[in-house]
Amino acid sequence: MYYWHREAKSSNAEIDYVLPLFGEIVPVEVKAGTKGSMQSLYLFLKEKKLNRGVRISNENFSVYDSIEVYPLYAVENLRMV
């Protein structure tokens, strides 16, 4: 299991997990509530030129651009390869 942390002069960024999912490397953010920005997730996707990210939170299933949202109760729906 891996995570990603970037320290820059004006911005820090962190991804909770970087996992092999769906046959590719996918950044995964875990949030306790339903709110919170996904700036780190978008930054990671852009820097690493990836097409998919995952957010796990108290939100219902949804998709924001290239980020798939899974509710906490449905984490088992993520398939690790």
pLDDT in tens, 3-56: 898 887 777 889 999 998 878 899 999 988 877 778 899 999 999 999 999 999
* pLDDT for residue 57: 93
Calculate the CA dihedral of residues 43, 46, 52, 53 and round it to 10 degrees.
-10
Contact 14, 6 (CB under 8 A): yes
| pLDDT at 76 (0 to 100) | 86
Judge whether 41 and 81 are in contact, CB under 8 Å. no
- The pLDDT of residue 81 is above 80: no
Distances from the Cα of 49 to the Cαs of 9, 46, 52, in angstroms?
A: 22, 5, 9
pLDDT of residue 80: 63
Residue indicated by tokens 């993520």: 78
Looking at residue 60, its pLDDT comes to 93
Tell me the mean pLDDT in the region 60-72.
92
